Amino acid sequence: MDVRWTAFFTTFMPLLSCFFDITVTYKQERVCYFPERWEGEWFQSGVRQSIVIDGPRLSSKGRCLDSDGDKFLVVDDKRACYRCVVIHEKHANVLQYKETFCHPRTSLASLCSFITGDALLYSMFRVGAIPVPCPFRGPFVFTYNRGHGECRSPVSSVDACTEESRLLLSYQACPDVHGSESTVEELQCLAAWKEGSARYLVGKVHHNHATSNEDRFRCFVYEKASTKSEAIDGIEFRVAQSGDATCNGLFSATEGSRTITLKRVPSPSDCRFPSWLAGLNHWHSLDYSITYSFHHRNSTLKITNSSGFEMRIVCTQIKPTTRENSAMLLTHFTRGCESGFMCMLFQRRDIYVVEVQVGAQTKRSEDACAAPYFNKSNIPYTTLV
Ligand SMILES: *[C@@H]1O[C@H](CO)[C@@H](O)[C@H](O)[C@H]1NC(C)=O
Ligand SMILES: *[C@@H]1O[C@H](CO)[C@@H](O)[C@H](O)[C@H]1NC(C)=O
Ligand SMILES: *[C@@H]1O[C@H](CO)[C@@H](O)[C@H](O)[C@H]1NC(C)=O
């Protein structure tokens, strides 16, 4: 090789490679984006404004410079310092992270090595999340404990709403248990995942005293009853609820700010709508605006109308009637998150013609089939064909 070329290379190669290095770093800085599916607004307890993930930015912490799997090197533009943030996606609607303090710049790996096992774990919940089906559906009865003993009597109850992402919890006050109170809370399920042997649920709890996301977001650990003795007692699930809008301090389904034991409701499953009615799966009102359809082995009736209104009705008890072609039924209804009891009297007029009278709704099953909730002589008939 020509001597001049050799001189050229020895002089300029280091410079060239240095330039190359810079472009690589520059490129890395530009291509560190958070996963697109994380984009949007997030809530974190104690943080006043929503956290926004947008491209390379994690609003409260700065801009991503480098990443490796779930580890992100983030620069805080304001304070000109760097931190490692390790983010775990628990569910599309829940991110949990640990982070270092703000340090002078070093590599991602050495910065991340400052995170210790006992570092605080923060939870972020998606704002405006699309709800998910709740992992347990009512109806259940339950006992609960807010730290002053188990409130067993009167027993509280969970009702399924027609939307499977919502549950209605009706807490009862136990005279012998301090801190028990009679309230109704609606739980909207937003995320459920499994971690080791623990199952987690994140939801929003709606009740009169909940006015902010800080009051509404709650984390739950739950487990399905496992032992035989629990099964004999009718126990289906144990649930522990967090006392604040985090998942901190929740390790098992038996310790939490509030614990709940869900039991099966004594089964109404032997109650069936009569076969001359349920044998035809669908009935319509004469103007076709209302549809009655039977499901679940003739034990459940769905009433829908043309504006999308839907009511689910479960047969609870057959009442004696004197006439052969009629059936009087005590039923449990659910509409949205409302539920209660009502009485229905079906009368068969012909194979394909039935008339129904529906009583007023009440919370007490023993009232439903008696006046003033049900009075045969002043309830209008609906004809079904
Ligand atoms: C539901 O009713 C129909 C009509 O009587 C009957 O054929 C069917 O066996 C019933 N199903 C159950 C599970 O009872
Ligand atoms: C459907 O039922 C709801 C609730 O009873 C009622 O408000 C609505 O007017 C009904 N729509 C039609 C088309 O009947
Ligand atoms: C049922 O309604 C009829 C007519 O409105 C009334 O005369 C009667 O007293 C009512 N029965 C009961 C038990 O309330």
Preceding omega of 14 cis (within 30 degrees of 0): no
What is the CA 106 to chain-centroid distance, rounded?
41
Atom of ligand 1 nearest to the CA of 279: 4
8: Cα separation from own chain's centroid: 68
Tokens of 349: 């007029």
Instruction: Return the domain boundaries, the chain.
Output: 29-126, 140-264, 275-384
Report the pLDDT value the prediction gives residue 78, as an integer from 0 to 100: 85
Burial label, 314 (beta-carbon count in 10 A; 0-12, 13-18, 19+): buried
Tell the burial category of 15 from Cβ atoms under 10 Å away from its Cβ (0-12, 13-18, 19+).
Answer: exposed
Q: Report the pocket of ligand 3 as residue ranges, CB < 6 Å.
A: 371-372, 375, 377-378
Burial of 240-273, coded b for 16+ CB within 10 Å and e otherwise, reads bbbeebbbeebeebeebebbbbbbebeeeeebbb
| DSSP-assigned letter for residue 302 | E
What was the pLDDT predicted at 115?
92
Q: Rg of the Cα trace of the chain?
A: 30
Give dist(CA 131, CA 44) in Å, integer.
Answer: 18
The distance from CA 305 to its chain's CA centroid, rounded to whole angstroms, is 28
- Distance, CA of 256 to CA of 244 (rounded, Å): 11
Q: Considering all CA atoms of the chain, what is the largest pairwise distance in Å, rounded to the nearest integer?
A: 118
What would the pLDDT profile of 359-370 be if each residue is shown by its tens digit?
A: 999 988 889 999
Question: What pLDDT, on a 0 to 100 scale, did the predictor assign at position 54?
Answer: 95
Which residues have C-beta atoms less than 6 Å from ligand 2?
289, 305-307, 309
313 and 292 Cβ atoms separated by less than 8 Å: no
Residue 269 Cα to ligand 1 middle (Å) = 13
For residue 311, the cross-strand partners are 303
Of ligand 2's listed atoms, the one at least distance from the Cα of 308 is: 1
Local confidence pLDDT in tens for the 385 residues of the chain: 444 544 544 454 444 444 444 444 444 445 689 999 999 999 999 999 999 999 999 988 999 999 999 999 999 988 889 999 999 999 999 999 999 999 998 999 999 999 988 889 999 999 999 999 999 887 888 999 999 999 998 889 888 888 899 999 989 999 999 988 889 999 999 999 999 888 999 999 998 888 999 999 999 999 988 777 777 778 889 999 999 999 998 888 988 899 999 998 766 558 899 999 998 889 999 999 999 999 877 888 999 999 988 999 999 899 988 888 999 999 999 888 888 899 999 999 999 999 999 999 998 888 999 989 999 999 999 999 9
Query: What pLDDT was estimated at residue 31?
Result: 61
Structure token digits, residue 277: 């009615």
How confident is the model over 235-294, as pLDDT tens digits?
889 999 999 999 998 888 988 899 999 998 766 558 899 999 998 889 999 999 999 999
Kindly give the pairing relationship between strand 258-264 and strand 235-241: antiparallel
DSSP for 79-107 reads: TTEEEEEEEEEEETTEEEEEE---BS---
Q: Residue 3's pLDDT is what?
A: 46
Q: Which residue has the tokens 């404990």?
A: 145
Other Cβ atoms less than 10 A from the Cβ of 89: the count is: 15
Locate the ligand 1 atom nearest the alpha carbon of residue 276 and give its number: 5
> What DSSP character marks residue 121?
-
Mutate to test the pocket of ligand 3, among 375, 376, 379 (most ligand atoms within 8 A of CB): 375
Q: Which residues contact 320 (CB under 8 A, 6 or more apart)?
A: 328
d(Cα 160, Cα 136) in Å, to the nearest integer?
9
- Ligand 2 centre to CA of 347 (Å) is 23
| φ, ψ at 10 (rounded to 5°) | -65, -30
Residue found under tokens 């999340």: 129
Given the CA of residue 275, which atom of ligand 1 is nearest to it? 5
